[in-house]
C-alpha cells in the first residue's frame, strides 16, 4: 500500500514539472523570440504564424472535439466536429441506457457469437465509433493541414519579393510613359 502511494505521489510530482508531451525537442524557445513584424500584419495573422501543434494538442483534441480547428480559427469546422463527436457519444449513451455495451456489440458482431443483437443496435454501435474516431482523426490531420496552409499563405503574403515583373509608369522626358518593367530589390 505504501509503495503504491509513494509511486502515485512520485508520478504526480513528475507530471507537474512536465510542460508538454513531446517526442521531439524544439531548438529554440518561440515564446521569447521577437521577430520583425510587418506593419500591416494583423494580430490574428501573427497568432497563426506563432502557433505550433504539439503532442499536447493531440491529447487535448482527443478530449475536446474540434480543439485543433478552434485553435487555428476555423470555428465552423470545429463546431461541425463537436456536433459529430456528440452524436457519437449520444449513440454510445443510448446503447448504455438500453443495457448494451458498445464494445460488447462490436465484438459479438465481429465474432458472430450472439444472434439476438438487432441490426439497428449494430448500426448505432458502428456509426458511433466511426463518428468518435473519425471526428478526432479529421480534427487532427485536417487541422494540421489547414494550419500549414494558413502559415504558408501568410509567409508568402509578407515575404520580401526580389523580382517583380509587371506594368508600371516610368517618367521619361518629363512625361509618364506606360512600360513593362523588371525590378530587382537588393
Can you give the pLDDT of all 186 residues of the chain as single tens digits? 677 766 667 656 555 445 555 555 555 555 556 667 788 888 888 888 888 888 888 888 888 999 999 999 999 999 999 999 999 999 888 887 777 776 666 666 666 666 666 778 778 888 888 999 999 999 999 999 999 999 889 888 887 766 555 555 555 565 665 666 655 555
Task: Tell me the pTM.
Answer: 0.66
Does 101 map to a domain? Answer: yes
Residue 113 lies in a domain: yes
| Cα distances (angstroms) measured from residue 79 to each of 60, 70, 137 | 16, 8, 15
The answer to whether residue 60 is domain-embedded is yes
Q: Is residue 13 part of a domain?
A: no
Q: What is the pLDDT of residue 128?
A: 87
Q: How far is CA 25 from CA 14, 22, 54, in A?
A: 18, 7, 11
Residue 183 is assigned to a structural domain of this protein: no
pLDDT of the residue at 46? 85
Residue 104's domain spans which residues? 41-160
Total domains present in the chain = 1
| Residue 69 domain flag | yes
Beta strands 163-172 and 175-184 are: antiparallel
| Per-residue confidence (pLDDT) for residue 58, from 0 to 100 | 85
Within-domain flag for 83? yes
Q: How far is CA 105 from CA 42, 68, 95, 100, 121, in A?
A: 52, 31, 9, 7, 8
So what's the pLDDT on residue 12? 62
Rounded CA-CA distance 61/59 in Å is 5
The answer to whether residue 182 is domain-embedded is no
pLDDT value at position 39?
A: 82
Amino acid at each position: 500500500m505504501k509503495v503504491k502511494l509513494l509511486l502515485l505521489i512520485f508520478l504526480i510530482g513528475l507530471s507537474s514539472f512536465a510542460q508538454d508531451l513531446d517526442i521531439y525537442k524544439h531548438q529554440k524557445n518561440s515564446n521569447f523570440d521577437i521577430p520583425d513584424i510587418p506593419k500591416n500584419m494583423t494580430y490574428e495573422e501573427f497568432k497563426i504564424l506563432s502557433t505550433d501543434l504539439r503532442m499536447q494538442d493531440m491529447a487535448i483534441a482527443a478530449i475536446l472535439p474540434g480543439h485543433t480547428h478552434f485553435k487555428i480559427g476555423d470555428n465552423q469546422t470545429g463546431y461541425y466536429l463537436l456536433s459529430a463527436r456528440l452524436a457519437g457519444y449520444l449513440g454510445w449513451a443510448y446503447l448504455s441506457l438500453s443495457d448494451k455495451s458498445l464494445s460488447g456489440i462490436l465484438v459479438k458482431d465481429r465474432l458472430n457469437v450472439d444472434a439476438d443483437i438487432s441490426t439497428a443496435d449494430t448500426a448505432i454501435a458502428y456509426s458511433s465509433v466511426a463518428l468518435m474516431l473519425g471526428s478526432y482523426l479529421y480534427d487532427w490531420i485536417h487541422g494540421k493541414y489547414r494550419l500549414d496552409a494558413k502559415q504558408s499563405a501568410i509567409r508568402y503574403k509578407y515575404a520580401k519579393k526580389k523580382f517583380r515583373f509587371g506594368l508600371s509608369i516610368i517618367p521619361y522626358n518629363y512625361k509618364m510613359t506606360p512600360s513593362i518593367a523588371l525590378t530587382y530589390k537588393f
